[in-house]
Structures are given as C-alpha cells and as structure tokens.
Structure 1
Amino acid sequence: MKILHIGPSEVSVLSTRGGAVQRRIVGLARIQADEGHDVTVLSPSAHEEPMAGTHDDWRRVDVPLRTERPLRDYEFLMKSRRALAEQSFDVLHAHGVPDAHRWLGGLAATSVQTVDFYRYRLTNRRLGHRYYTKSLNRYASIMPVSDFCRSGLSAYYPELTTRLDVVPNGVDPTQFVSNTAAADAARVALGLPGDRRLVVYLGRVCHQKGSDLLGPLAERLGTSHPDVTVVAAGPPEQFSARTGARSTLMDDLVAAGVVVTGAVHEDHLSGLLGAADVVVLPTRADEMFGMAALEALSCGTPVVASDLGGIPEAVGSAGVVFPVGDVHAFHSSVAEVMDGLASGDDWAEKARAHALGFTWAEVTRMTHAVYSVALGSS
C-alpha cells in the first residue's frame, strides 16, 4: 500500500521541538514501513531547496516554506502538491490539516483525517464553519483521537456526514521505558538535582496547558514535601518557538521555585519521564487525549492530571485525575501519590500495563482497519 502523510506547517516532522502530531506521524510511518508499505511523509522545512530523506525505510519529503501562518499553511499544501504532481497513492492520511483533501486528494484513491482539534480558523463564523464542514465531509473517514473528541466533533459540526472512527494516539514502549542510566543522564543534561524527588510537567508552558498551576503547586509542596522539586519542561506557548525562548509565565514559575528547562531534546524525553516520581498534566482546556501522560505511564511513572477531555481515556486507572484548575485538589492528589510511593505503593506495573494497550503497532492496526473500509468505499 502506498501511504502519504501530511501534518501541520509549523515544524518539521522530525523536529526535536515537535508535539503529539509529529510524534504520531513518525510512529505510524515507522510501523507501516516495517510492515512493508511504501510510506511518504511531507514535512515543512526551513531549507532553501527541498530535500528528500529516508528514515527507517519511510521517505520524508521536505518542503521549503518562507511565509508565516496563515499563508504558510496554504504554501505548504501548494508546494506539496507541486512536489508530488507525478505520483499517486492509495491513501492520503492528513493529521490536523482539514484542507489537505482539497489540495492533495486527487493524488490518492482515498483520504482520511486524524483529528485532535477541530475549531479551526474562523469556524466561529457562519461561512468559516460551513467551509470546514464541507472540507471534513470530503474525507472517507475522520479519526478522532478519543471518544471525547468524537463527541465534541459531532456536536460542533452537526452536519458532518463522514464516518467517524476513534483511533487514539500511541506510544513507543521501546523508547519510553524505565532506565536508570537514561534518567541520570537527563538530570545532568537538564540541570536537575540528583538528590531530590521530581514532579515533572512536560509540554508547552502556557495557560491553556495549566502551567500556571505549577507555581502554587511548588509553593505548597515546599511546605508539605520539602524534598520535592517541581519541573516545567517544554517551550513557551508553541513547539515552534526558538530554542532558549522565555516567557513571562516561565519567569513567574522560576520565582515560585519551579525549575524551568525549556524545550527538551528527544534524546532526554524518556529519561526525564523515568526520573520523575510523578508526571502532571494540569491542562485547563482543549485536551483531546494527552500523549505525554501515556509516555510517562510507559516509563512506569504515575500521572496526576486534570479530569478534562480525553485525558481520563489516556490515563485510565494508572493515574489520578483532579477537577480542572483546582489548586488544592492538584496539590492533594500529587501529595497522595508521592506519599503512596514513599510507603511502597507500586504504580510502575499498573502504569506500564496500561500503556502497552496503546503501542504504535496497535494504533497502526486500528488505522489500517480504517484504511481498508475507506478504500472499499472509494
């Protein structure tokens, strides 16, 4: 099967500063290529000239982009179509790019779209909402990443007639695994103390992700658990932010005693999550799944997260959820898990077992089931 993947225009698919969408594309491409499929991935590039590279037997086509969003999104689609004009595919798999079928659908026998956010630019206006309803209805299947996402998508686009198939995000259990040496290396690389227990947040440092709650958490843990350090690991606002960029929120967190690392290189992600005693996701809004939670669980690390959106589906019984924005409940939940660990509670086995239900191999199997139905109806 010939498969074409395309994601957003912000950052390269293989960027060390990417997010869940980029990780999903790479996770699927690797498994699909291992299974013998011909896989091409379109990736935005900062290079002046387009490059093509092969990674684990899947092919990446870099598309040079020079504009800023929103024009960048259309530049990416236009140049992608031009770069692949002489090629054809069985499946176009778009990831958060509702316009991909309009521009690239003619290159493939069928097209599907993975959705982890569905309020696109101008959808709050009648014409914009109608435009995106028509765009999404062009796909043979839409794949929301959680049951929560499916329900929200259906409610937001009541005239959506395209088939909906829930396919969650996944995790690589060979990359995200408990490893003492990797944990020690991550502590050193990120400047984290080697003699303290860690509560780690991994993701964009912004209000939407609830990062502002890390300051109050650090202050309360400073009294109740003085041997604990709270860590905020991630870029400010957007994954495409330049390395070393700071924000006012980051400065506020430092003032509250939080260690702010900035973006974490791919080489140290697993080590950081494994070094953590608890990983936290205090998201306030728009969380359709929670891949970081799944990656932490794969490392055997328990998760404390907001009871929001698709997060409970990602966490299952291998973590604890608390009411959104409730600082007291956030602290109490983290403290409870930390105390349990100190008393010998074994979260690791439960966490790892839950994560193994979401391997990229399993997600690929579910994805290919959708491809089969889409091809059969095309």
Structure 2
Amino acid sequence: MTVSELDRGAAHPLPRRIAVLSFHTSPLAQPGTGDAGGLNVYVLQTARRLARRGVEVEIFTRATHSSQPPVEEAGDGVLVRNIVAGPFEGLRKEDLPTQLCPFVAGVMRAEAGHAPGHYDLIHSHYWLSGQAGLVASEHWGVPLVHTAHTLAEVKNAVLAAGDTPEPESRRIGEQQIVDAAHRLVVNTVGERDELVRFYDADPADIDVVSPGADLDQYTPGTQRGTERARRALGLAQKSEVIAFVGRIQPLKAPDVIVRALAEIVRTQPHRDVRLLVVGGPSGSGLERPRSLMELADELGVADRVSFLAPRPPSELVDVYRAADIVAVPSYSESFGLVALEAQACGTPVVAAAVGGLPTAVADGRTGLTVDGHDPRRWADVLAGLLDDDELRLSMSRAAPVHASGFSWDSTADGLLESYAGTTAAYRARRAEAAAS
C-alpha cells in the first residue's frame, strides 16, 4: 500500500519524506559486531518498508571508514548519508558525544542543499541521535519522533556484575529528549511504563509500535534442511544444541548460558549437549574480547562451545534451524529481535523475563521465560526443555504462528500512523501559535 492510498483512509496527512538519524551505528553494519545490533535491523527494515509505501527515507549516520561514499543506496527509496564526524576508526562509544557537533553540522549541510521543507519529519534512534534531532527539528521546523531502544535508568537498575553503569550525562540527555520530542515511539507497553516511571513522560505522548521479523527470510526449515544446517556448522545430528546469538557483552549475559552448560555437564557428564555462540565483542566486552572463551575453558566446557562470527540473515537462519533451543538471557532488552527471528524459524526460545522478552516469547507456548540469571536455574530450564520432546515439538509448531503476528510491515504501518498524528498535532500547534 502506498502513501497516497494510506492517505485516503487516514485522518491526517502522511509524510512524503523523512530524515532518520542513527548517529552511533550504521544500518548497513553487520549486526553482532561492535555496536551493531537490533537497532540496526530496526532502522533498515522499517526504512525499506516505509519506502515501499511511497515514503522517501534518508538515514543519517556517522562514517566509520574512509572508503565509505557520502551517500549509499539501501534499497529503492532509501538513502544512507555517511556524515564525517570525528576519526573513522578507534572512537569508543563513550567518546561519541564529543562528535555530536560535527555530526549535526553535517546533517545541516546535507539539508541545506535541498529546497526548504524537504523533510516532513525526523525520526531519531538512541539518545545521541535524539540530541541531534532536537537541533534539526528546531532549525527545520518539523516534528521530532524519537525511539530510545535502551534507557540509562533501566540499564543501570539491572546492571550485570562487572558491567559499567551508564553515565549521568546520558540520563540527562535522555531526559531532555523526553521533555522536548514531539512523539516517543516504544516497542512495548512495559517500555512505555518505564519512560513514565523513570523520566516522567506523558503517556499521551507515547505510541507503542512493536518491532517485527523478516518473515520472508526467517521461516521454519524441513528436516533435511536442519540436517544440512547442522552439517554446515559442524554439529552432529544427534547432539542437543543450544544457541546464543548477539553481541558478547555483560548486558547480553552470554556467560549465564556458558555457566548453565557447565552445570548441565557437571550433573550429566555423558550428555551430548553443545552451545553455539554467534556474535562479536561489544561495549564493555571489548575490554576482554576473549573472556567468554576463557570462561568456557575454565569451566571445562570449551570442547562443547563453538564460537562463530556474526553473519547475515541468509546464514543466520541456519543457526536458528540447527538449534534445539535459542537462549536469550539478557539483563535488559527493549524487545529481543533474536527471540522473534528464532521463533519464526520454528525454534523454541528460553529467555530472561525482562523488558520486551515476555512479549516476544509466549511463555509456555512458544518458549519459556526465566526469572533471574542464576545459572543453575537456567540449567534446569534448558535441560528440562531438552528432555521434553513433546513440549519442544509443540512449541516448535506454535512459534512461527506467534512470530507471524510481528512483521516489519505491521511496524511500518504503526509508524506511519504515529507520524501522521504527530505531524497533524505539530502543525496545529504552530498554527495556533502564529494566530495568537
């Protein structure tokens, strides 16, 4: 459905062209490397779906390589503008706020090359982009929609042992965005409640729009396809396989699964259970990039753990299909796209009962949610589900049905509705102010 078709049935006009700000990480980066993760997937997938509906999308991000062109196409109707702001490489995430000014200047220069009113709306992702969005919104005279993805107050409230708390400067920056943005978009009702509780946000200014999964890419495999996937990954057909997919950092808690594996092996040493870890070091995990490997060795399960580099969806689908269970033990997760993708492939998920994961996973039907991060508790739940073939098969059948309720097309529709309402309210306020 195009914008014109949606417009005819909409109460408010829909945007023709939007500027998307993703300062700290490019939507074209491989998820699972550096700071690239679910946010990257969200930005790219929603941009492509919006473009299919006739909305032109320009994504502004910070250039990280000298070889990157100023502008790249990311699909029909989607442009990625690589803004030079600071050194291309070697800049830590903690240092990125120092490069906000040159990034904003680059965004302003790009907009200055167009006729006035080129963009109808700005959608910023993560707090650093939100700060840039506040400036652009004021200068361009267009509304700012913001999606936080993660929040400092929430992360610090559930900090993993040994992890570094988010700085006060981030919390202050987030508060400024909450106070000044024209609309906040969140993934779940729980995230909306966190904004109200920790940042005193007005619930009337928040829209809940669930993320999705690429349901064309992530689909259940056949028995033969699963066998092929296991061969490609070097896994025995009869092995019990648990998979962890994500960035290797304390927040994502991959150590919990390694410790749970060690607990299973300690009590059942002859059990043929293996763990796949797919991802790269990120965040505070960069300080000890081999720490998870060292932990597996220390616990005596190194021979049962396979570490794989991050991979594109066309290859990641084989990881999901090869696994008996996908584990998502995060301490904080605004939604959990890995959980959704795994279920779309027909793989049950065992996830921490935090953030959006209880929404992403239908507890008892498509997977199980676990309170806390005690490795022994996780070992009991994982081993119990591996033992229960009937339950696991039932979950495998129900998982794709549950996942089908979360598509990127639905997300795009929700965003367009939010954009239309935001634009109408913004124009009404400006008209009222001009008349007074």
By percentage of residues, which structure has more strand?
1
Q: Is the 8 A contact 2:100 2:132 kept in 1?
A: no
Q: Does structure 1 residue 138 correspond to structure 2 residue 138?
A: no
Report deviation, 1:364: 0.8
Aligned to 1:219: 262
Relative to structure 1, the CA distance from residue 190 to residue 5 in structure 2 (aligned partners, 3 Å threshold; closer, same or farther) is farther
What is the aligned partner in structure 2 of residue 80 from structure 1?
107
User: 2:7 maps to what in 1?
Assistant: none
Instruction: Report the more deviating stretch, 169-178 or 39-48.
Output: 39-48
Q: Which residue of 2 aligns with 1:2?
A: 17
- The whole-number CA distance in structure 1 between the counterparts of 2:276 and 2:339 is 15
CA–CA distance in structure 1, aligned partners of residues 133 and 57 of structure 2: 18
Change beyond 3 A, Cα 1:39–1:343: closer
Q: 1:261 to 1:183 in 2, by over 3 A?
A: farther
1:351 aligns with 2:406: no
What is residue 134 of structure 2 aligned with on the other side? 102
1:13 to 3, 12, 27: 27
Q: CA deviation at 1:130?
A: 5.1
Deviations 1:276-308 (A, max 9, x none): 11000112x222211111111111100001112
Name the counterpart of 2:47. Answer: 29
The CA deviation at 1:252 is 1.1
CA deviation after TM superposition for structure 1 residue 161, in Å: 7.7
Count of residues in Structure 1 that have an aligned counterpart in Structure 2: 373
Residue type at the aligned position of 1:299 = C
**Corresponding residue number in structure 1 for 2:214:** 172
Q: 2:83 aligns with which of 39, 58, 63?
A: 63
Q: CA deviation at 1:193?
A: 4.5
Mapped to 2, the partners of 1:196 and 1:287 lie a distance apart of 29
Aligned-partner residue type, residue 94 of structure 1: S
Is residue 359 of structure 2 the alignment partner of residue 313 of structure 1? yes
Measured against aligned partners, the alpha-carbon deviations of 1:130-189 in whole angstroms (never above 9, x if no partner) come to 554233222211012122211111111126587011112211111111235775665566
Q: Structure 2: 5+ residue runs without aligned partners?
A: 1-15, 157-164, 427-436
Residues 303 and 50 of structure 1, relative CA distance in 2, 3 Å threshold? same
The answer to whether the 8 A contact 2:263-2:375 is kept is no
**Using the alignment, how far apart are the partners of 1:131 and 1:178 within structure 2?**
42
Structure 1 residue aligned with 2:420: 372
2:151 to 118, 127, 130: 118
- Percent identity reads 24
Q: CA deviation at 1:2?
A: 0.5
TM-aligned CA deviation for residue 102 of structure 1 = 2.4
Structure 1 residue 5: Cα displacement: 1.3
Q: Which has the higher mean CA deviation after the structures are superposed, 130-139 or 95-104? A: 130-139
Kept after mapping to 1: 8 A contact 2:257/2:327: no
Please list the CA deviations of residues 292-341 of structure 1 after superposition, one character each: whole Å capped at 9, or x if unmatched: 11111111100001112221011124210112112222112112221223
CA RMSD of aligned residues (A): 2.9
**What is the distance in 2 between the residues matched to 1:197 and 1:46?**
40
State which drifts further: 194-203 or 13-22: 194-203
Q: In structure 2, what is the Cα distance between the partners aligned to 1:8 and 1:253?
A: 35
Q: Do the aligned partners of 1:40 and 1:60 also contact (CA within 8 Å) in 2?
A: yes
Contact 1:165 1:370 in 2 (8 A): yes
Amino acid at match of 2:27: V
Q: Which moved more, 1:165-174 or 1:54-63?
A: 54-63
Q: Is 1:302–1:348's contact at 8 Å kept on the other side of the alignment?
A: yes
Tell me the residue number matched to 1:274.
Answer: 321
Shift of 1:74: 4.2
Deviation at 1:4, TM superposition (A): 1.6
Q: Is the 8 A contact 1:178 1:271 kept in 2?
A: no
- Whichever residue aligns with residue 217 of structure 1, its letter is A
Secondary structure of residue in 2 paired with 1:61: strand
Residues 17-44 of structure 1: CA deviation (Å, up to 9, x unaligned): 3200000011101111111211111233
Question: How big is each residue's C-alpha offset from its partner over 1:49-77, in whole Å with a ceiling of 9 and x where there is no partner?
Answer: 64212232012212234332232444433
Answer with 1 or 2: which has the greater Rg.
2
Corresponding residue for residue 301 of structure 1: 347
